[in-house]
């Protein structure tokens, strides 16, 4: 065990100084910090730009009422709509930038329901100015003027306020549903965090593969194997690189906490991930499981390749396994508990990445946590045992890649 620690410490010390690792570890919090600063200090101007785009710089919409029911404009709409006597007058107003958009409501509107829209451009603001929802409110209010009582008029204007209640699958207890904004942010941020975690798994296990390939190409592997068993060597490397990956994740989580506190101070809003402490626990669990699986596979890839390039080719094939859940990402987002999604959560090679995707999207059934963790955890020692055999066999083969028959023989011997 002492030798495992020696190897782990050596791998950690060697790789934590790599420029690529430092850049990748620091760039994530840096991007977060820049985003926070922009939202805090420049956000006002940027927001104004988007508001202008959305609202067409707050100019009213012209109304040419050939039908006769829409003028005079009701007091509630005077700020947003301005009447023009004719289409020509509205055109002049648009060309003189008095308004951006005008609606021409023809005399046969009631029969045909057609409204012609004149505009100077096609900015988002212009499109929003005559959006169906907004225009429907304006038309309904004017058509119903004097026809119904105030209460009915008010309800027709705003027929519903949706109040969703989510039932917890575990307890059946109900709670307030998230707003759309909250949902988007609470899904997107952990979703991208999931992607980062998978990247971290592959960064760490990729370094492991590189380390093995270098030892093989430097021919130092023979001396190392005369000092420690292939099993000890692989275990030491896995531990060292795992600590490296955990360091990266801890830096990210610490910076996320710091950014959230900063965000609360500057904008009054904490990052939604901060409200999900269990997510931290599962991030660490599934990171470790995923890392262990892929570290063994990458170790084997490193030992089997005769050159670094060849090892990378083998490893890219293995990476495809982990990426399978991402091929289904849009499906997973919409159906986080669908059958195929759950099956992929039970397969050790896809389980960690799939669960890292699913957890932020909702509440996977408890059985999915249990099965995915158990199956993957049980698979690791088996994979490690077989992997160490192939690893040992592959390490000393120079010049040509071992055949599948030779690899299979090594696995059977384990």
Q: Which residues bind other proteins (CB under 8 A)?
A: 2-3, 6-7, 10, 214-215, 218-229, 396, 398
DSSP lists the bridge partners of residue 82 as 62
CB of 222 to other proteins, least distance (A): 4
User: Between residues 230 and 357, which has the closer beta carbon with respect to other proteins?
Assistant: 230
What's the rounded Cα separation, in Å, for the pair 52 and 65? 27
User: Between residues 11 and 65, which has the closer beta carbon with respect to other proteins?
Assistant: 11
User: Between residues 198 and 241, which has the closer beta carbon with respect to other proteins?
Assistant: 241
Q: How many CB atoms within 10 Å of residue 154?
A: 11
User: Between residues 215 and 368, which has the closer beta carbon with respect to other proteins?
Assistant: 215
Distances (CA, A) of 136 to 65, 115, 338, 342: 15, 11, 38, 44
State the first-to-last Cα distance of the chain, in angstroms, to the nearest integer.
21
Which residues contact residue 121 at a Cβ distance below 8 angstroms, ignoring those fewer than 6 apart? 100
CB of 396 to other proteins, least distance (A): 6
Structural contact between residues 205 and 196, judged by C-beta atoms closer than 8 angstroms:
no
Burial class (CB in 10 A: 0-12, 13-18, 19+), 119: buried
User: Between residues 10 and 66, which has the closer beta carbon with respect to other proteins?
Assistant: 10
CB of 12 to other proteins, least distance (A): 13
Say whether 135 sits in a helix, a strand or coil. Answer: helix
Residues in the chain, how many?
414
Q: What is the DSSP letter of 302?
A: H
What's the rounded Cα separation, in Å, for the pair 206 and 102? 60
Give the DSSP per-residue string, 8-21: HHHHHHHHTT-HHH
User: Between residues 225 and 329, which has the closer beta carbon with respect to other proteins?
Assistant: 225
User: Between residues 91 and 231, which has the closer beta carbon with respect to other proteins?
Assistant: 231
CB of 342 to other proteins, least distance (A): 43
Which residues contact residue 173 at a Cβ distance below 8 angstroms, ignoring those fewer than 6 apart? 167
CB of 14 to other proteins, least distance (A): 8
User: Between residues 116 and 385, which has the closer beta carbon with respect to other proteins?
Assistant: 385
């Amino acid at each position: 065990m002492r030798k495992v620690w020696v190897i782990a410490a050596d791998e950690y010390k060697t790789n934590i100084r790599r420029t690529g690792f430092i850049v990748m570890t620091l760039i994530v919090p840096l991007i977060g910090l820049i985003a926070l600063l922009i939202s805090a200090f420049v956000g006002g101007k940027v927001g104004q730009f988007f508001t202008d785009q959305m609202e067409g710089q707050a100019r009213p919409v012209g109304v040419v009422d050939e039908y006769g029911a829409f003028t005079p404009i009701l007091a509630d709409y005077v700020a947003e709509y301005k009447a023009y006597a004719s289409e020509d007058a509205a055109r002049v107003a648009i060309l003189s930038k008095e308004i951006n958009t005008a609606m021409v409501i023809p005399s046969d509107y009631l029969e045909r329901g057609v409204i012609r829209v004149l505009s100077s451009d096609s900015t988002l603001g212009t499109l929003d100015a005559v959006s169906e929802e907004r225009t429907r409110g304006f038309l309904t209010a004017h058509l119903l003027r004097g026809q119904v009582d105030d209460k009915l008029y008010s309800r027709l204007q705003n027929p519903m306020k949706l109040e969703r209640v989510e039932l917890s699958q575990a307890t059946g207890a109900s709670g307030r549903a998230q707003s759309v904004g909250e949902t988007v942010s609470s899904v997107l941020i952990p979703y991208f965090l999931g992607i980062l975690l998978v990247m971290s798994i592959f960064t760490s296990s990729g370094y492991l593969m590189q380390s093995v390939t270098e030892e093989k190409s430097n021919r130092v592997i023979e001396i190392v194997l005369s000092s420690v068993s292939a099993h000890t060597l692989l275990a030491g490397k896995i531990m060292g690189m795992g600590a490296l990956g955990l360091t990266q994740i801890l830096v990210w989580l610490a910076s996320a906490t710091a950014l959230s506190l900063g965000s609360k101070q500057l904008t009054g809003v904490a990052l939604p991930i901060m409200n999900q402490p269990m997510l931290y626990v599962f991030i660490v669990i599934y990171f470790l499981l995923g890392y262990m699986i892929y570290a063994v596979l990458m170790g084997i890839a490193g030992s089997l390749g005769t050159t670094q390039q060849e090892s990378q080719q083998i490893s890219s094939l293995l990476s495809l396994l982990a990426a399978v859940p991402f091929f289904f990402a849009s499906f997973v987002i919409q159906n986080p508990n669908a059958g195929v999604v759950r099956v992929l959560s039970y397969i050790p090679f896809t389980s960690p990445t799939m669960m890292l995707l699913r957890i932020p999207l909702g509440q996977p059934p408890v059985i999915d946590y249990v099965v995915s963790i158990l199956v993957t955890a049980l698979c690791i020692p088996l994979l490690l045992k077989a992997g160490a055999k192939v690893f040992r066999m592959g390490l000393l083969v120079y010049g040509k890649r071992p055949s599948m028959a030779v690899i299979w023989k090594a696995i059977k011997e384990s």
